[in-house]
Chains A and B, each alone.
Chain A
Amino acid sequence: MPGSSPGHEDRKNTDRAEGRLAMRFRRKREIGRAGLRRSLVATIISLIYFFPVLWIILTAFKTHNDALAVPPIFLFEPTLENFVSVFSRAYSKGAEAIDTGFALFFFNSIFTAGTSVLLALIIGTVAAYGFSRYPLKGNETYMFIILTTRMLPPIIVIIPIFLMFRVTGFSGTYHGLILLYAAFNLPFTIWMMKSFFDELPREVEDAARMDGSSEWHVFFRICLPQVKAGIAATAVFGLILTWNEFLFSLLLSGVNTRTVPVAMAQTIGGDIGVRWGLLAAIETLFLIPVVLVTFLLQNQFLRGVTFGTIKR
């Protein structure tokens, strides 16, 4: 650059680096003082929240007697028998252990939740982009109508949906469940994704148009990559919601399309009473995919949920 000395930029850079360094030191000191107390409180609170989960995981490794022990015991000899029984067990004393079908149920849960969230994301993202960039006359009204579909408690619509599924032959099928869950996920997917698109600076899209992009490229190459974090956050919310869904799965899934929450409810009972260890084992296994997905998307997810709350 003519007019400014060559050393000028370098000096500016070192200044900035020093500034950053100083800030980091200051931050460290702050953690040293007030941070310690805050961390302690945070740890205690998370322990309280985490205790039930911990209890379930522990119970999953206990024998039936240990699980029922009063007062509860925390030191015991761990066993994997509960996990084995999840997939294969004898239904009465002395009978031969048979397949419980839980492998299939786990697959069903993963498959229906995954596919429906994906479907909702594909439709919802495109729809949200449309609502954000090509507003219709009465755009707000349409957005509100979309939201109202989630205002009704689901149980109110269960009878008509049940009848519709009977008539169309959707009950007990994968595509039936997937479509239903996708429809459930769609409203908040559209709402969340629209707010992410609304946040994007329009001039960047105009710049892409100037650079020769078609409207499709503006969407795929410019807008979509910028809302990656938002997609991750929406996906996690959708997965958790669908993963836990019980009511519709209970009524609309068939023997072969049953999801874990329903199947788990149906294992309660049997000749030795409620098998807490077995239930805990199912729950522990049931936790793993959600934890896994959340951890995998953690970075994106955190950026997603804090989107717009911090100035970039």
Chain B
Amino acid sequence: MATLRLECLRKSYGRVSALNGVDLEVHDGEFFALLGPSAAGKTTTLRAIAGLETLDGGRVLLDGEDLTEVPVRRRNMAMVFQSFALYPHLSTANNLAYPLREAGLPRREIAKRVQETAELLRITHTLKRKPASLSGGEQQRLAIGRAIIRQPRLFLLDEPLTNLDAKLRHAMRAEFKRLHRELKATMIFATPDQLEALSMGQRVGILRDGRIVQIGTADELYLGPRDNFVAQLVGDPPMNLIPATLRRDRNGARLELPFAAIDTARLPSSVEAFQPGTEFLLGIRPHDLRLVGDDRRGIAFEAEIRLAEPQGDITILDLHAGGADLRLVVAEIEGARRTPGETISLAFEPARTRLFMKDSGLALG
């Protein structure tokens, strides 16, 4: 299929810059997820790849071929839009047939492919109906059908699950993975939802303010976020970031947290090069905090429960400890026993934390 390379894409709308030099390489046959908050430039990036936006700078290369000046219709890419963008005046069958008609395929071939695609996506019963009379899920599948009916070199999926209800969304995630396996196509999937990105993308690229901040697999991003932005974007609930200051005295060097102090030797990365008084952010995943009973390994401290958010199988506890806010994930049974206002004992393993510079937000090590 195709390898896509983006070189320093730039685009601004008037004074607002949407893309500030996006560099990216997507491998052949890869399911790549673009993750970022709204207005990070996900849609603009996809539209730039498709050629729907004229760039202020940069190049789009597909298999080494420079597509920057190639008109949209000759790029042979397919896109599933967030709004689905179905042709409202055409029936399901004609929506599916449209790209094939534009490609000038013979009638019989078109009819055959429409039937096959409709069967694959289970929308044969809607073939004669117009998009307005289809349910959300059917519209969604029709939009996908219109993209896969021809064999494009690249699939661009712009938040295709955002407009669906939660239940359908879950089913469609699996559907997309299945489609990717069957089509063996290169797919780029934009989403603001970290769960979607991590669960679907073989690799995930994180966009912030029109720039790629980090690219990696789900594990790489979860365990080794490059900065505090990625750390808070990936993982749910987001990583706890606790202000910390480096101190040195006769007893040695330690990192002071509002509620505890950690011997620098126990930290995952070396802070020897820094002056005392340097400010950091210590990242602790909510899952890495644990309630302590007899087991007092790691760094232990006390915290007050502010709020309990039951989620069914787990409960998220919002905590307050020595002026810092934290979140903790506990099993539902455990959470049900806790009430706001109560003080609990917690501990964490310093080796499982991650240290960020307070000023730049960049991670150490």
In the complex, the answer to whether A312 meets B98 with C-beta atoms within 8 Å is: no
C-beta contact mask, B339-352 vs A, less than 8 Å → 1, else 0? 00000000000000
Q: Is B249 in contact with chain A by the CB < 8 A criterion?
A: no
CA distance A210 to B167 in the complex (A): 30
CA distance A223 to B309 in the complex (A): 49
Q: Given that A3-B170, A12-B135, A312-B132 are contacting pairs, would A211 and B99 also be in contact in the complex, using a CB cutoff of 8 Å?
A: yes
Please, which residues of chain A bring their CB within 8 A of the CB of B52? Answer: 206, 209-210
CA distance A94 to B268 in the complex (A): 121
Within 8 A of B (CB), among A170-208: 201, 203-204, 206-208
In the complex, the answer to whether A214 meets B73 with C-beta atoms within 8 Å is: yes
CB distance from B170 to the nearest CB of A (A): 6
Q: Is B119 in contact with chain A by the CB < 8 A criterion?
A: no
CB distance from A21 to the nearest CB of B (A): 16
In the complex, the answer to whether A208 meets B98 with C-beta atoms within 8 Å is: yes
CA distance A106 to B47 in the complex (A): 55
C-beta contact mask, B150-190 vs A, less than 8 Å → 1, else 0? 00000000000000000110111011001000000000000
Please, which residues of chain A bring their CB within 8 A of the CB of B175? Answer: 1-2
In the complex, the answer to whether B73 meets A209 with C-beta atoms within 8 Å is: yes
Please, which residues of chain A bring their CB within 8 A of the CB of B174? Answer: 2-3
Which of A12, A204, A213, A312 has a CB less than 8 Å from the CB of B85? A204
CA distance A203 to B156 in the complex (A): 14
Q: Is B222 in contact with chain A by the CB < 8 A criterion?
A: no
Q: Is B242 in contact with chain A by the CB < 8 A criterion?
A: no
Closest to A16 in B: B135
In the complex, the answer to whether A210 meets B50 with C-beta atoms within 8 Å is: yes
CA distance A69 to B179 in the complex (A): 83
Which of A13, A204, A209, A214 has a CB less than 8 Å from the CB of B88? A204
Q: Is A226 in contact with chain B by the CB < 8 A criterion?
A: yes
A-binding segment of B33-41, B74-82, B232-240: B74-82
Say what secondary structure dominates the interface of chain A: helix
CA distance A203 to B172 in the complex (A): 22
CA distance A226 to B89 in the complex (A): 6
Please, which residues of chain A bring their CB within 8 A of the CB of B354? Answer: none
Within 8 A of A (CB), among B48-80: 50, 52, 72-73, 77-79
Please, which residues of chain B bring their CB within 8 A of the CB of A217? Answer: 102
Within 8 A of B (CB), among A279-312: 312
Q: Is A53 in contact with chain B by the CB < 8 A criterion?
A: no
Q: Is A161 in contact with chain B by the CB < 8 A criterion?
A: no
CA distance A13 to B167 in the complex (A): 16
Q: Is A212 in contact with chain B by the CB < 8 A criterion?
A: yes
Q: Given that A207-B81, A212-B99, A213-B73 are contacting pairs, would A4 and B86 also be in contact in the complex, using a CB cutoff of 8 Å?
A: no
In the complex, the answer to whether A222 meets B102 with C-beta atoms within 8 Å is: no
Please, which residues of chain A bring their CB within 8 A of the CB of B73? Answer: 209-214
Q: Is A135 in contact with chain B by the CB < 8 A criterion?
A: no
C-beta contact mask, A45-58 vs B, less than 8 Å → 1, else 0? 00000000000000
Say what secondary structure dominates the interface of chain B: helix
CB distance from A22 to the nearest CB of B (A): 19
Please, which residues of chain A bring their CB within 8 A of the CB of B90? Answer: 225
Q: Is B16 in contact with chain A by the CB < 8 A criterion?
A: no
In the complex, the answer to whether A206 meets B81 with C-beta atoms within 8 Å is: yes
CA distance A210 to B8 in the complex (A): 23
Please, which residues of chain A bring their CB within 8 A of the CB of B170? Answer: 3
In the complex, the answer to whether A211 meets B146 with C-beta atoms within 8 Å is: yes
In the complex, the answer to whether A203 meets B72 with C-beta atoms within 8 Å is: no
In the complex, the answer to whether A1 meets B137 with C-beta atoms within 8 Å is: yes
Q: Given that A212-B103, A312-B132 are contacting pairs, would A207 and B87 also be in contact in the complex, using a CB cutoff of 8 Å?
A: yes
Which of A201, A210, A222 has a CB less than 8 Å from the CB of B78? A210
CA distance A206 to B51 in the complex (A): 10
Q: Is B122 in contact with chain A by the CB < 8 A criterion?
A: yes
CA distance A211 to B98 in the complex (A): 7
Please, which residues of chain B bring their CB within 8 A of the CB of A209? Answer: 52, 72-73
CA distance A211 to B135 in the complex (A): 23
Closest to B147 in A: A210
Please, which residues of chain B bring their CB within 8 A of the CB of A225? Answer: 89-90
Please, which residues of chain B bring their CB within 8 A of the CB of A12? Answer: 135
CA distance A210 to B81 in the complex (A): 11
In the complex, the answer to whether A210 meets B88 with C-beta atoms within 8 Å is: no
Please, which residues of chain B bring their CB within 8 A of the CB of A13? Answer: 135
Within 8 A of B (CB), among A55-80: none
CA distance A9 to B141 in the complex (A): 14
Closest to A12 in B: B135
CB distance from A198 to the nearest CB of B (A): 16
CA distance A42 to B99 in the complex (A): 49
Q: Is B12 in contact with chain A by the CB < 8 A criterion?
A: no
In the complex, the answer to whether A4 meets B167 with C-beta atoms within 8 Å is: yes
In the complex, the answer to whether B77 meets A210 with C-beta atoms within 8 Å is: yes
In the complex, the answer to whether A206 meets B132 with C-beta atoms within 8 Å is: no
Please, which residues of chain B bring their CB within 8 A of the CB of A9? Answer: 135, 137
Which of A1, A212, A221, A226 has a CB less than 8 Å from the CB of B171? A1
CA distance A312 to B130 in the complex (A): 14
CA distance A225 to B95 in the complex (A): 14
Please, which residues of chain B bring their CB within 8 A of the CB of A207? Answer: 79, 81, 85-87, 146
CB distance from A195 to the nearest CB of B (A): 18
Please, which residues of chain A bring their CB within 8 A of the CB of B168? Answer: 4
Closest to A13 in B: B135
Please, which residues of chain A bring their CB within 8 A of the CB of B77? Answer: 210
In the complex, the answer to whether B171 meets A3 with C-beta atoms within 8 Å is: yes
Which of A2, A204, A210, A225 neighbours the largest number of chain B CB atoms within 10 Å of its CB?
A210
Q: Is B83 in contact with chain A by the CB < 8 A criterion?
A: yes
16 contacts between A and B (CB under 8 A): A2-B171, A2-B175, A4-B168, A9-B135, A201-B85, A203-B83, A204-B88, A206-B47, A206-B81, A206-B85, A207-B79, A207-B85, A207-B86, A208-B87, A208-B98, A214-B73
Task: Add 9 more A-B contacts to A1-B137, A2-B174 (CB < 8 A).
Answer: A9-B135, A203-B83, A206-B47, A206-B81, A207-B87, A207-B146, A209-B72, A210-B77, A213-B73
The 4 closest A-B pairs by CB, nearest first: A212-B102, A211-B99, A3-B171, A203-B85
